[in-house]
Amino acid sequence: MQQLAATVQARAKPWIRDVVPALGGIALHYDPDHPDVHGDALEAAAILVQECMKEEAVAEEAPARTVEVPVCYEREFAPDIEEVARQVKLDLAEVARLHAAGEYRVLMIGFAPGHAYMSGLDAKLAVPRRATPRALVAPGAVAVANEQTVIYPYAISGGWSVIGRTPVAVFDAAREAPSLLAPGDRVRFRPISADEFMALKK
Amino acid sequence: MSVRVLRPGLLTTLQDHGRQGLQHVGLCPGGAMDPVALALANALVGNEAGEAALEITVIGPELSFEEDALVALCGAEFDGSFPHNRPVLAPAGSRFNVGHAARGARAYLAVAGGFAVAPVLGSRSTYLPGHFGGFQGRSLKHGDALELRDPGASGRFAKLKKTRNGTVKWSAPPFTLPDREPILVHVLEGQHFASFDSNAQRSFFDTVWKIAPESNRMGFRLTGPALVRSEQSEILSGPTALGSVQVPANGTPIALMADHQTTGGYPRIAEIVSADVARLAQLAPGGTVHFARCDLGMAAELRHDSKERLSAALRGIAWNYGQ
Mapping DSSP onto H, E and C, the string for chain B reads CEEEEEECCCCEEEECCCCCCCHHHCCCCCCCCCHHHHHHHHHHCCCCCCCCEEEEECECCEEEECCCEEEEEEEEEECCCCCCCCEEEECCCCEEECCEEEEEEEEEEEECCCECCCCECCECCCEHHHCECCCCCCCCCCCCEEEECCHHHHHHHHHCCCCCCCCCCCCCCCCCCCCCCCEEEEEEECCCHHHECHHHHHHHHHCCEEECCCCCCCEEEEECCCCCECCCCCCCCEECCCCEEECCCCCCCEEECCCCCCEECCCEEEEECHHHHHHHCCCCCCCEEEEEECCHHHHHHHHHHHHHHHHHHHHHHHHHCCC
On the question of pLDDT at B151 being above 70, the answer is no
B55 and B140 Cβ atoms separated by less than 8 Å: no
Judging contacts by C-beta atoms under 8 Å, the chain A residues touching residue B249 are 129, 131-132
**DSSP code, position A118:** E
The amino acid that residue B237 corresponds to is S
Q: For A136, which residue in chain B has the nearest alpha carbon?
A: B129
Judging contacts by C-beta atoms under 8 Å, the chain B residues touching residue A154 are 129-131
Q: B45, B14, B56: which is closest to B31 by C-alpha? A: B14
Q: Do B264 and A111 lie within an 8 Å CB cutoff?
A: yes
Query: How far is the C-alpha of B202 from the C-alpha of B305, rounded, in Å?
Result: 28
Query: How far is the C-alpha of A92 from the C-alpha of A73, rounded, in Å?
Result: 9
Between A11-20, A127-136, B210-219, B252-261, the lowest mean confidence (pLDDT) is in A127-136
Size of interface A-B (CB pairs under 8 A): 125
Judging contacts by C-beta atoms under 8 Å, the chain B residues touching residue A174 are 120, 132
Query: How far is the C-alpha of A162 from the C-alpha of A82, rounded, in Å?
Result: 10
According to the model, what pLDDT value does residue B111 have?
A: 93
Query: How far is the C-alpha of B72 from the C-alpha of B50, rounded, in Å?
Result: 15
When pLDDT is averaged across residues B41-70 and rounded to a whole number, the result is: 93
Judging contacts by C-beta atoms under 8 Å, the chain B residues touching residue A20 are 23-24, 239, 262-263
Between A57-61, B38-42, B145-149, B225-229, the lowest mean confidence (pLDDT) is in A57-61
On the question of pLDDT at A56 being above 80, the answer is no
A139 and A131 Cβ atoms separated by less than 8 Å: no
**Which position has the higher pLDDT, B208 or B250?**
B208
Q: Do A17 and B21 lie within an 8 Å CB cutoff?
A: yes
CA A118 to chain centre: 6
Q: Do B20 and A18 lie within an 8 Å CB cutoff?
A: yes
Interface of B with A in 272-301 (CB under 8 A): 296, 300
Q: Do B25 and A171 lie within an 8 Å CB cutoff?
A: yes
The amino acid that residue B186 corresponds to is H
Q: What is the ipTM score, two decimals?
A: 0.83
Q: For a pLDDT cut of 90, what percent of chain A falls above it?
A: 58
Query: How far is the C-alpha of A185 from the C-alpha of A15, rounded, in Å?
Result: 30
pLDDT tens digits, one per residue of A91-141 = 999 999 999 999 999 999 998 999 999 999 999 999 988 877 777 899 999
Judging contacts by C-beta atoms under 8 Å, the chain A residues touching residue B237 are 22-24, 108, 110-111, 117
End-to-end CA distance of chain A: 38
Q: Say if B158 is an interface residue toward chain A (CB within 8 Å).
A: no
pLDDT tens digits, one per residue of B263-283 = 988 899 999 999 999 999 999
Q: Do B25 and A146 lie within an 8 Å CB cutoff?
A: no
Greatest mean pLDDT range, A111-115, A129-133, B86-90, B201-205 = B201-205
Q: B97, B112, B108, B107: which is closest to B160 by C-alpha? A: B112
Nearest to B129 among A17, A23, A155 (CB): A155
Helices A2-10 and A41-54: angle between axes, nearest 10 degrees: 110
According to the model, what pLDDT value does residue B153 have?
A: 58
Q: Residue B159: is it exposed, middle or buried by C-beta count within 10 angstroms (0-12/13-18/19+)?
A: exposed
According to the model, what pLDDT value does residue B201 have?
A: 96
According to the model, what pLDDT value does residue B163 have?
A: 66
According to the model, what pLDDT value does residue B61 have?
A: 96
Please report, for residues A112, A161, B6, the alpha-carbon distance to residue A107 in angstroms, rounded to integers and kept in the order given.
14, 19, 48
Smallest Cα distance from A130 to chain B, Å: 8
B101 has which bridge partners?
B78
Query: How far is the C-alpha of B97 from the C-alpha of B88, rounded, in Å?
Result: 14
Smallest Cα distance from B236 to chain A, Å: 5
B176 and B37 Cβ atoms separated by less than 8 Å: yes
Judging contacts by C-beta atoms under 8 Å, the chain B residues touching residue A146 are 234
Q: Do B237 and A24 lie within an 8 Å CB cutoff?
A: yes
pLDDT tens digits, one per residue of A135-180 = 789 999 999 998 899 999 988 877 899 999 999 999 999 999 999 9
Interface of A with B in 78-117 (CB under 8 A): 108-115, 117
Q: Say if A45 is an interface residue toward chain B (CB within 8 Å).
A: no
Q: Do A112 and B121 lie within an 8 Å CB cutoff?
A: no
pTM of the model: 0.90
Greatest mean pLDDT range, A124-133, A169-178, B71-80, B203-212 = B203-212
Q: Say if B236 is an interface residue toward chain A (CB within 8 Å).
A: yes
Judging contacts by C-beta atoms under 8 Å, the chain A residues touching residue B22 are 18, 113
Smallest Cα distance from A91 to chain B, Å: 26
On the question of pLDDT at A61 being above 70, the answer is no
The confidence band for B217, taking pLDDT boundaries of 50, 70 and 90, is: very high
